[in-house]
Structure 1
C-alpha cells in the first residue's frame, strides 16, 4: 500500500512539473508568434513603400504598361483611383 501511495505522489509531482513546462512553452510560443507577426507586418509595409517609391520614379509612359501591377489586363485600364 505504501508503495502505491509513493508512486501516486511521484506521478502527481511529475504531472505538475510537466504542466508548468507546457504553460511556459505556450507563453513563449505566443510571445514569439507575436514578434514574428509584427516583423512580418513591418516587412510588408516596407515592401509596399518600396513599390510606391519605385513606381514614382518610373517615367509616365511606363505607368500604363503591363509591367505595372495596377494595370488591369482585362479592361486595359489603370486600376489606381488617384492620378497622383
Structure 2
C-alpha cells in the first residue's frame, strides 16, 4: 500500500491547484472590470477635451477679421501648399 500516500498527495495537489486557479480567475475578472471603467472614463475625458478645444478654435476664429480667417479650421485653406482653394468669379 505504498501508493496510497502518493495518491493522497496528488489529490491534495489538484485541490490546491483548483483553488488557486479560481482565485486567479476572479482577480483577473475584477482587474478587467476596473480596466474597462478606467478606459471609459479616460475616453470620456479625452472626448470632452477635444470638444472644448474645437469650441475654443471656433470662438477664436469668430473673433478674427475676415482677412485673417484663413486658418486650419477653414476647409477651403489648403494645408499643404498654403494656397486658397476657394473658387472665385473674378
TM-score, shorter chain, exceeding 0.5? yes
What TM bracket, shorter-length normalisation? 0.7 to 0.9
Match of 1:51 in 2: 57
Over aligned residues, Cα RMSD in angstroms?
A: 1.4
TM, length-normalised to structure 2: 0.76
Choose the corresponding residue for 2:68, options 32, 38, 62. Answer: 62
TM, length-normalised to structure 1: 0.81
In our comparison, the structure showing a higher alpha carbon Rg is 2
The list of structure 1 runs, each at least 4 consecutive aligned residues, that deviate by more than 2 angstroms after superposition, is 72-75
- Paired residues, what number? 75
| Structure 2, gaps ≥5 residues long | 1-6
Give the Cα–Cα distance (whole angstroms) in 1 for the partners of residues 85 and 68 of structure 2: 13
| Structure 1, gaps ≥5 residues long | 79-84
